[in-house]
Chain A
Amino acid sequence: MTRYELPAMVVEHRRRGANLYELILHAPPIAQGATPGQFVMLRPMRTHAPLWRRPYSILRANPDKGVFSILYSVQSAFTELLSLKPIGSTVQTLGPLGSYFQPVRSARRHILVAGGVGAPPLCFFAARLAPTLQSGEQILILEGARRADLLVGMDEFRALGAEVRVATDDGSKGYKGYVTSLLEMALNEPIESAVYACGPNRMLQAVAQLCTARGVPCQISLDAPMPCGTGVCLGCAVKVNTPDGGAWYKRACTEGPVFWAEEVVWE
């Protein structure tokens, strides 16, 4: 998988919510190479603080136009710098990076479980998956957030014609409770499913346990502090089972961020 380090041009900061923006970047090699689940490392300016680049999952990519986008909220010095980048300026960008969601072709129903800000890679995945569905295959989106206004990517999911079920912690929209409860209900329906999930790690742990207990193929995209994004620093360690019955640390940035659920060791 080829990765590119280049200055990506800011095309637009598109407002998507109360404090939620879609940053559209022009970087043809990245737009063309990106696969759903992959991410980019962004560095808006050469600053000492913040020091690290930040990983952002790719929300969508248009290879013909050479653009891709990510979602951000302004909530830190880093995201403030990002938000201030003028149209036409550049953001140093490295990508596409990491592993990606792989459609489980034996499944009749692809369940995408999105928790809050974990939705972007699943939006991208759903968009690429929908046109490839065979007859009898379907996509079910389960999305959870603390409140209705924090739900991300609903427009994208609806535009695909996929069934969407929503859970909010406060009941301001859809089911009142966790998205993992929606998943449990969906897995009890008699249809062969595969699960793809991204969200807070505690949600992913619950998703992984629900799926492995039922033998449902499940891929999860894990978050970890990521200084380099390129595999050299070994900071973003994820504990995994090894074939010999032992354990080892893999890198969320390189072997991940998407892992098979049964591989991950939860501690």
Chain B
Amino acid sequence: MTPDLSVALGRLRLRNPVMVAAGTFGYGLDYRDLVDLTQLGAIVTKSLTLAPRMGNPPPRVAETPAGMLNAIGLQNDGVEAFILETLPRLREYGTPIVASVAGETIEEYVQVAMKLSRAEGVAALELNLSCPNQARGGMEYGVHPELTAQVVAAVRQATDLPLIAKLSPNVGDITPIAQAAVQAGADILCLINTVLGVAVDARTRQFRLASKVGGLSGPAVKPIALYHLWRVRQSLPETPLIGVGGISSVDDALEFILLGAHAVQIGTANYVQPTLAQEVAQGLAAYLQENGIDSVTAIRGTVR
């Protein structure tokens, strides 16, 4: 018997728990020639802002041990271009589309969310809470419980779509922020976003990123992501969770699921192996079959 990979994150239902993470899969269509989009649990778009954004000056990326730093600066064509040019073609694949929403102000998050809610074919919104907050000198929204609650509550008022809050790991204790997001109306939590870091080029004696500070992703951050997910699972046992951070194999995905993740996202690994998400989904089915388990939900959260 084929194991059941389907999962329900509240109202968000996925055929399998393997999604692709924001910013690592373009707007959704970019990899259609290399990846079977119908095999993905869901596609999260690049973060969308109200107006097109040019992004940060280069160098924007730096490779680090088992990871990379990025400071793209939310370069994107804007939410309108996504709705007009990408969404109509992307929804043809029938794979749930999760739009990643970004903003420099709460008003911008709300405006972007409203436009996406009115468009046909968006299954859920994911709030990128690692955006720099203009009013607070560029601090991430997601490092502050009240700011997190304000963004989530404002967007909650503006949309009926399932709302995912993507949390920042750049905090001492993530649980008050997770609780604030859920109390403010987030249906699902996604963790983690990138970990702040810097790197220096010893030869040129300069920061390796023009913006100096970047977000670390890749296999190096996986234990950090697992730690935060495990903490939030204990703190909020009923909230659907999406685990993301350094997944590059079936076993990596299983670690998150065993700790209580309903679904996982493949991020940086998409850069080096675009087909990884579909391979992980197939690998999960094989793992369940080999172990005589009939559904992925049966193993969720079994490591406590």
Chain A interface (Cβ within 8 Å of chain B)? 2-3, 5, 43, 46, 48-53, 92, 94, 224-225, 227-228, 230-239, 247-249, 267
In the complex, chain B residues whose CB is within 8 Å of the CB of A3:
33-34
Most chain B beta-carbon neighbours within 10 Å: one of A50, A92, A235, A238:
A235
| Option from B34, B66, B72, B248 in Cβ contact (under 8 Å) with A234 | B72
B237-275 to A contact mask, C-beta < 8 Å, 1/0? 000000000001000000000000000000010111111
| Option from B31, B55, B58, B60 in Cβ contact (under 8 Å) with A232 | B31
Contact B58 A224 (CB under 8 A): yes
| Option from B33, B54, B63 in Cβ contact (under 8 Å) with A52 | B63
Contact A237 B24 (CB under 8 A): no
In the complex, chain A residues whose CB is within 8 Å of the CB of B30:
230-232
> How many residue pairs, one in A and one in B, have C-beta atoms under 8 Å apart?
97
Chain B interface (Cβ within 8 Å of chain A)? 23-26, 30-31, 33-34, 54-63, 65-68, 70, 72, 75, 218-220, 248, 268, 270-275
Q: A232-B26, A237-B58, A238-B58 are in contact. Are A49 and B72 (CB under 8 A)?
A: no
Closest 7 CB pairs of A and B: A235-B61, A228-B271, A48-B66, A232-B26, A48-B219, A237-B58, A49-B66
Q: A51-B63, A51-B218, A51-B219 are in contact. Are A230 and B274 (CB under 8 A)?
A: yes
**CB of A231 to closest CB in B, whole Å:** 6
Q: A5-B275, A231-B30, A248-B54 are in contact. Are A237 and B75 (CB under 8 A)?
A: yes
Closest to B26 in A: A232
Contact B72 A231 (CB under 8 A): no
Q: A48-B218, A52-B271, A227-B61 are in contact. Are A233 and B23 (CB under 8 A)?
A: yes
Contact B72 A239 (CB under 8 A): no
Q: A48-B219, A224-B58 are in contact. Are A233 and B72 (CB under 8 A)?
A: yes
Contact A233 B55 (CB under 8 A): no
A50 vs B274: C-alpha distance in the bound complex, in angstroms? 17
| Option from A2, A225, A228, A234 in Cβ contact (under 8 Å) with B63 | A225
List 7 A-B pairs, Cβ < 8 Å. A52-B272, A227-B70, A232-B270, A234-B72, A234-B75, A237-B56, A237-B57
Contact A53 B54 (CB under 8 A): no
In the complex, chain B residues whose CB is within 8 Å of the CB of A235:
60-61, 70, 72
In the complex, chain B residues whose CB is within 8 Å of the CB of A231:
26, 30
Most chain A beta-carbon neighbours within 10 Å: one of B24, B75, B271:
B271
| Option from B24, B34, B58, B67 in Cβ contact (under 8 Å) with A51 | B67
**CB of B74 to closest CB in A, whole Å:** 10
A116 vs B67: C-alpha distance in the bound complex, in angstroms? 29
Contact A227 B63 (CB under 8 A): yes
Closest to B218 in A: A51
Closest to B246 in A: A48
A49 vs B272: C-alpha distance in the bound complex, in angstroms? 12
In the complex, chain A residues whose CB is within 8 Å of the CB of B24:
232-233
Contact B68 A227 (CB under 8 A): yes
Contact A225 B271 (CB under 8 A): no
Contact A249 B34 (CB under 8 A): no
Closest to A43 in B: B272
A49 vs B55: C-alpha distance in the bound complex, in angstroms? 27
A230 vs B270: C-alpha distance in the bound complex, in angstroms? 10
Taking A51-B68, A53-B271 as known contacts, 17 extra A-B pairs with beta carbons closer than 8 A to each other, sorted by chain A number, are A2-B33, A5-B34, A5-B274, A5-B275, A48-B66, A51-B67, A52-B63, A224-B58, A225-B61, A227-B70, A230-B274, A233-B23, A234-B75, A235-B70, A237-B55, A237-B57, A249-B58
**CB of A243 to closest CB in B, whole Å:** 15
Q: A51-B67, A234-B55 are in contact. Are A227 and B75 (CB under 8 A)?
A: no
A238 vs B75: C-alpha distance in the bound complex, in angstroms? 12
A177 vs B272: C-alpha distance in the bound complex, in angstroms? 39
Q: A49-B66, A225-B62 are in contact. Are A247 and B54 (CB under 8 A)?
A: yes
Contact A230 B55 (CB under 8 A): no
Q: A48-B218, A52-B271 are in contact. Are A225 and B31 (CB under 8 A)?
A: no
A92 vs B220: C-alpha distance in the bound complex, in angstroms? 22
A227 vs B57: C-alpha distance in the bound complex, in angstroms? 16
Most chain B beta-carbon neighbours within 10 Å: one of A2, A233, A248:
A233
Closest to A229 in B: B271
**CB of B19 to closest CB in A, whole Å:** 15
Contact A48 B57 (CB under 8 A): no
In the complex, chain B residues whose CB is within 8 Å of the CB of A50:
63
Closest to A52 in B: B63
**CB of A240 to closest CB in B, whole Å:** 11
Closest to A252 in B: B58
In the complex, chain B residues whose CB is within 8 Å of the CB of A233:
23-24, 61, 70, 72, 271
Closest to B65 in A: A49
A19 vs B75: C-alpha distance in the bound complex, in angstroms? 39
In the complex, chain B residues whose CB is within 8 Å of the CB of A227:
61, 63, 68, 70, 268, 271-272
A230 vs B55: C-alpha distance in the bound complex, in angstroms? 18
